[in-house]
Every structure is written in structure tokens, then in C-alpha cells.
Amino acid sequence: MTFINNILKRLNYTQLPARGEWKAFIFKIIDERVRIITAGLNLRELRAIMRGDPPTEKPNPRYKVITTSFVAHIRPRYYPQAATWFTHTFRLGFFVTFFFVVEIITGIVLMAYYVPYPDQAYGSILAIESNVFFGELFRDIHRLGAEAMVAFSWLHLLRTYFTGSYKGPRSFTWLTGVILLAITAWLSFTGYLLPWDQLSYWAVTVGTSITESGPIVGPTLNLVMRGAPDIGAGGLLRFYLQHVILFPLLAILFISIHYYKVSREHSISLPAVVEELELPADKKKEYNRRIDLIPDLLSHEIFLIALGTFVMLAILYFRWFHSPLETHANPQSTPLDTKAPWYFWWLQGILKIDPANILENMLNPILQPLLGLFGIEFTLELSKLLDSKFIMGLIVPPVLVVILAFLPYIDKNPSRLSSKRPFAIVWGISWIFIMLALSYMGLPEYGIETPAATRVIQDLAPEEGEGPLREIPYAELSQAQGIYTVGEDYGRDLCPNIVYQPDHDKPNDIVIGCPHLTAVFNQFSERLLVAEADGRLPNLEARIIVEQVQPGMVRVTPQVDWNDPETDEAKTYEHTYFLHENRVLGSH
Amino acid sequence: MKRVQLEIVLGTIFVLLSAAIVIILGIREPQRLADYVLQQRARQIEFGAAVFQSNCTACHGSTAQGITGIAPSLRDEHFFTERLGEIGWGSTLEDYIVSVVTTGRQVSTRAQYVGGGTPAMPTWSEKFGGPLRDDQIRAVAAYIMNFEQYALGVLPTPVPIGPMVDESTPEGRGQALFTQAGCIACHTIQGISTASVGPALDGLANRAGSTVSGLSAEEYIHQSIVDPNAYVVTGYTPDVMPQNFSEILTEDQISDLVAFLQARTQ
């Protein structure tokens, strides 16, 4: 008995209850513990929250949570009803945060298996995919979440711009948002290098090479980023540490600042129509009605989490998304079509613009005749003065980002209604199109000329990834050995005598001939013959050779011979592809 | 229905569906892992074949069949069944290949492949100054291991088709032999090979008839293949060209080869 008395004394109960009052006494002890853990809610209150009943005490204990709990202090007490309209926010900011949490959880799992060293990085990714239960799933979620986070950040920015929510008290919040966009992009970009395949190695090499062109500090900056003149062990470790420590911490800091201002200082903006138009009093009252965090906003957030999780899993289940893994990084061989991740295509597009050349072309036709009047022969050569990579890579993008960050201080129009800010709306829509156009210009297809024969073969079977040639079933190729010559074999089934079963599990499903090979060959022929006809490939001789070289492996060699149109020199281009029977199995 | 009730219903459905997806993926996961291992091996073999093609064919032949006097076949029965015992290697054949490719070999273990003054096999690993990474060497080993069924005679060896070779004519068969018998490792013919160990053979037809008095072009070329030391072109050393082509090749094959070389008019 003294033992129990001691415990009770420690819990600040001096008096034991009388016989028959024990039940109420124990309930009271539990109730008080619950109130401490939930930072203000007792059992009765929790029950009322679950049932959707009004608060059981005054003052409202549900607000007390937000002032007393460290975890909850960042949350709002309530938002005005109109600010929670789905069509006003589309929950974009919420989903960015959701993806960030997903990234942290999956990232911690992946970190346990990943080795940030060039010799082993690629192998550790293969091990994650082939030897870790749900390893591929975790990597896919991490990749999907990363790209979604970047996409939703942009959409969130656009929403804020078009609803004019960056104005007035929210100016600084907008600034932190632009910083967060940059942090998100950099987090994604640093993660891009980690698989250490050709895609990541060259995307990051191209990306970091921009800094090299900077004056004075450029080479040093490049060295700091890459850890050596080229990306190697040092560079990989630097990117890894930025990806898993520095930038996640910065992101948490800035998300906290950004969100704290929204939730505790100025709230989510009201739709402009509610804020600025004269509305009937009853409507105004309804739109400003408080929607409490507990339980309304919280239950909605739980619903959104369920929705987000389900959509991500469904996308992966139906294989609409799959994280790419190309061949091992090879500093000695640049793939033909190197490209940055899609959210940096606009940067690559900007780099293809040569301002000196454009100015020369604009000014010379005017200047030359004008100066000619005075007998002066003059040709403006700006390219010697202006380094286009430096201007378009290091000057223009930062200026754009700075303009974006300080937009609230530039745009002095006090109104948030779209009808009262037509210039801003047109400006915003134009920028969407400019960014899309720049992104298109950033694609390898734009502005880079590849010799015809190389282009044709590359399109049939890109150096990285699959392409129609690699997608020809092995069963078809292994029976279709031979040499197929362009000009002779076009337009017919190349191998009418073969029969194969595309799927071992479906014995009734058979294919006669080689439709896939024929299709690839016809495409090869057509494009080459067009190039021959328009003079790019005179004296064309081309063929596709299919040979069995090993048990379960064929070699396919597209070959093109032609004479150079200018020098008449004989030229040859060929590429060999080894295709193994098991290269595509199951759902892959 | 109030919005919150709708959200509770839909949210519950989403949670259940998500759980179902995870369970289905979990049930499939062991099969997926097994498939992935096989698929990864297939890609490794493909990659190894490409590495082999650009680094190893000059000495080991275009399809690893070996070149007499230069480097052994990597796909004969001896290599797959007896080689490890011969060398006293305790581990697997694949590890043996990786080890030899990585560090190379200063002196050949077999008399017929002694490299005159140069290492019998160069070091290939970038750790020792070679061009290949560890994963590339592993891939080459995977590629060679994939020859096993051919080597043990389980499957017939395919004849590589090769570019532009018309096997119905003696010249065409001779051209195929020129590659397969390893002539390309030492002799240059424009468009076929680039090597400078032995004399270039372009335009051979124009000079073969007048090189050694008393021998017609055909006789001279034949003699140079079966008995290379009988006449050595000025500036080249005797005993470099293998002496045993008359044993390796049939008389028909040699005459195909002669026909092919006699057609080298430019």
C-alpha cells in the first residue's frame, strides 16, 4: 500500500479516494495525462472533435493546442471560409509540402543502401533495384515525388501570381517562396547526379559547365562545385552532401518561415472578389466565417494525404512513371543527345540564344549603308566583345530570378482583381509561353544539326534508352538473321517464313513473319532514301545486318555508306547493338 | 452528404486501395527481383559484348574465336573445362577472366602465345593504367561466360554474317576468312583492317606476280601463307607470321584466301 501511495504522491494526489470512487479517480488521472500529451485536449474534447461537436469548454481548448504545443504552433487557428475554396488555392502549397515529406521518408530508406562513390554508386542503385524488397518502388516514389514537387512549386507560384496574392503584407512571403523554388530545383538537380549513369553524369556536367564561363571567379566556382575540373569522386560527394544534409535543412528552415507567415501572420489570401468587391452583408459574413484547424482543416488534410498517396501509388502501379537508369557514367563518351532535367530545359534553351549574333544581324544592315555614305567600310563584330555563354548562362537567369523575387516591390498596383491588373495578367501568360518556347529550344532536337545517317540510326536506337530497334522481340530477331539492303527489301515482309510465340504463357498467340523488324527496316529505308533524294546522302548504300553471336544474343548492325556531298569522299557510319533474350522480362 | 462525410468515405477508399496496391506489389516483389537479376545479367552481357568488340577483337578475334599465334580462343571446350585446372585457379572461371583482364599478363603461360618483347596481355584495369573500369571488366567476363553452350558443343557455333560478304564466291569466303583466321590483326587492307605488324596487302595483285621470279602471283601468295619465311618482304622480320596456317586451314580455304588477295588490285 505504501508503494501505491508513493506513486500517487509523485503524481500530486495526496488523498486516496474512498471505496466506490476509484473508477472516477483513475479516469481523472488518465484524463489529465491525455490533456498534457495533446497540449490542451482532454478525453471529452477529443470525443467531441471526432463527432464534429462544438468545443466542450470555454475558452476553446482547440485553440490552446496551437499556443502551447511546439509541433502545432506553426499551424493556423482557423482560416476564413473563402480562403479555403478549392478553386482559389488548388491545395498546391499543401501538396508541395506533402511531396517534401514523401521525399524525406523515401530518401532516408534509399540512403541506407546508396554509396556516394563513383566505383560503387551505380552498382548500389542496381542493388536497390534488384536486391532490396520494394527497392524499386522506393526509388520510383522518390523520383516521382521529386519531379512532382518541382512541378507543384511552379504551379503554386503561378496561382499566387494570378490571384495577386503576393501583394501588400505577403510581399516577404513571396520572396521566401521564390527562394524555396530555387532550393527545390537545386535539391532535385543534386539528386539527379547520384545514380551515376550517363543521363545524370552528362546532365550535371552540362549544367555545371555554365559557371565555368563566368569572369574571374567562374573557374574557381566550377572547381568548388565539381570538386575537380571534371565531376568525379569529389564532385559526387559534394552533390550527395548537399542533397541529403545542406539543402533539406535549408528547405525545412525556409518552409517554416514561409508557412509561419501564412498561418500565423497574414493567413491565406481571400479571393480578390471577396476582398475587394462590395458584397451583401450575409455573404460577407459567410465568407469570413472561421474554419477551424481542429477538426475541419485537419480532416481535410488527412483526406488530401490519402488522395496523394493513392495517386502516386496508382501511377507507379500502372507504370505510367518509371525512374530511368541508363548505362554507367562514362566521362570519355558524350551521348549524342545530352539534355538537362525537364525543369532546366528553359536554361538550355536560353544558352542557345546568341545575343551578339542577333545584334550583328540587326544592326549591320542598317549601319553598313549608313557608314558607306561616308566611305567607311565597317562591320560590327560583337561576338568578340560579348561571350554569349556568359551572358545567357550567368547574367540573364539570375536577373530573371531577382526580378521574380522582387516582383511585389516592382508591381505597385494595389488591386488584386484580374480586371484591374490586365497588364500583369497578360505579362504572366506571356511568360508561360516564353518559358515553354525556351524549354522547347532546350531540347536536343532544336538547333543542333546531326549528320543524316547518325540521326536516322540514333532515332531508331538511341544511345541511351530503348527505341524501336531495341523493342523488336528477341524471338523475332533470332530467326530473322540476314542482311537486309535498303532499296532491295523495302515494302515487303522481310521474313515471311518465320513463326514465333511472343509470350510463352499464351501458346495460342503466334506471330507470322517479322512485323517489328520490317517496320524498323522500312522506317530506316524511308528516311535514308529521303536524305538521298534531297542530296544529303549521295551514292547511298545501306543495310541492316542481323546475326546470332551467342546463345541468347543477337547483334544488329545498321550500316550506311555514302559519299560526302561536298568532298565526294566515301563515308561510312554504323552502330552495333547487342540484344540479349532476357533484356526485357516480366513487367519491364 | 456533407463534404466532410464524403471526404471520410473517399479517404477510406483511397487508404484501402493504396493498401491493396502495396499488397499486390509485395506479392509480386520476389518475382520482380528475380526477373530483375536475370535482366540485369542480360544487359551486362550486352554491355560486355560491346566492350569486347571495341577492345579485345584485335587479338582474340571478332567473336572471341582466338587468332593463331596471337591470342587463344575464349570459347573452346578447353577454356571452359580444363583451363582452371591447368593454371591451378581455385575460384570460378568468371573470376579468373576478371583477374586476367584486370592485371594483364607479362608472360604467356603457353609457349605458342609468347609475345615477342611485349606483354602477352596488356593490363586493362584503369587501376593499373588501362582503359577499363571494374564494371566494364565484369561485363566482359559475363559476355565470355555466355559462350558456354557453344563452347561445350551444346549448340552449334553460328557463322558471323559480317558486312558485305558474299559467301557464294571464293573471294567472298576468302574475305570472311581474312577476318576469322586473324589476318586482320597484322595486315592492312583499306576498309577492312588497320594494322602494321605485317606488310599492307592493298594492291597485292599488281606486284605478287613479279616479287619472286619463277612464281606466279597465285603461287607466291599461296607460299606466303603456308610458308611465310620462304620470302620475307624487305623491312619485316622472319618468324613473326605464324607458320602453321597450312595445318589450321584446309586447302580449299587457302585457295579462297588466295582468290580474295589476288583480287586486291588497288
Query: What is the spatial distance between Cα A312 and Cα B229, in angstroms, rounded to a whole number?
Result: 74
Residue A560 in this model has a pLDDT that exceeds 80 = yes
Query: What is the spatial distance between Cα A28 and Cα A320, in angstroms, rounded to a whole number?
Result: 54
Q: Which residues, at least 6 apart from A560, have a Cβ–Cβ distance to it below 8 Å?
A: A453, A456, A457, A528, A537, A540, A541, A542, A572, A573, A574
Q: Are B18 and A310 in contact (CB < 8 Å)?
A: yes
Q: Which three cell numbers stand for residue B170?
A: 571464293
Q: Is B8 near chain A, with CB under 8 Å? A: yes
Q: Are B43 and A583 in contact (CB < 8 Å)?
A: yes
pTM: 0.83
Cα–Cα nearest to A431, from A161, A174, A167: A161
Q: Are B135 and A328 in contact (CB < 8 Å)?
A: yes
What secondary structure does DSSP assign to A539-560, as a single string? T-EEEEEEEEEETTEEEEEEEE
- Locate the chain A residue with the closest alpha carbon to B136: A328
SS3 call for A67: helix
Beta carbons within 10 angstroms of residue A5's beta carbon: 12
Percent of chain A clearing pLDDT 90 (strictly above): 44
Residues, chain A, total?
588
B116 — pLDDT class (breaks 50, 70, 90): low
SS3 call for A164: coil
What secondary structure does DSSP assign to B195-223, as a single string? --SS---TTHHHHHHHHSTT--HHHHHHH
Q: What would you measure as the largest C-alpha separation in chain A, in angstroms?
A: 119
Chain A partners within 8 Å of B150 (Cβ): 550-551
* Per-residue pLDDT tens over the stretch A394-431: 888 889 999 999 999 998 888 999 899 999 999 999 99
Which pLDDT score, from 0 to 100, does residue B237 have? Answer: 77
Chain B partners within 8 Å of A559 (Cβ): 163
| A77: Cα separation from own chain's centroid | 33
Residues, chain B, total?
266
CA distance B165 to chain A (A): 10
Chain B partners within 8 Å of A549 (Cβ): 49, 63, 158, 160
β partners of residue B125: B132
Residue carrying the nine cell digits 569466303: B173
Going from the C-alpha of B81 to that of each of B86, B105, B148, the distances in angstroms are 10, 21, 10
Q: Is A127 near chain B, with CB under 8 Å? A: no
CA distance A568 to chain B (A): 17
B162 — pLDDT class (breaks 50, 70, 90): low
Mutating which of B31, B54, B135 best tests the A interface, going by the most A Cβ atoms within 10 A? B135
SS3 call for A210: helix
CA distance A282 to chain B (A): 21
Under 8 Å between Cβ of B101 and B123: no
- Cβ-Cβ contacts under 8 Å between A and B: the total is 138
Provide mean pLDDT across the span A563-583. 87
CA distance B117 to chain A (A): 30
Beta carbons within 10 angstroms of residue B173's beta carbon: 20
Q: Is A557 near chain B, with CB under 8 Å? A: yes
List the Cα angle A122/A128/A134 in 5-degree steps.
155
Flag the least confident range among A266-275, B119-128, B192-201: B192-201
Query: What is the spatial distance between Cα A373 and Cα B75, in angstroms, rounded to a whole number?
Result: 80
Provide mean pLDDT across the span B107-113. 71
ipTM: 0.87
Q: Is A327 near chain B, with CB under 8 Å? A: yes
Chain A partners within 8 Å of B266 (Cβ): none
Query: What is the spatial distance between Cα B16 and Cα A306, in angstroms, rounded to a whole number?
Result: 9
Which pLDDT score, from 0 to 100, does residue A587 have? Answer: 45
Q: Is B147 near chain A, with CB under 8 Å? A: yes
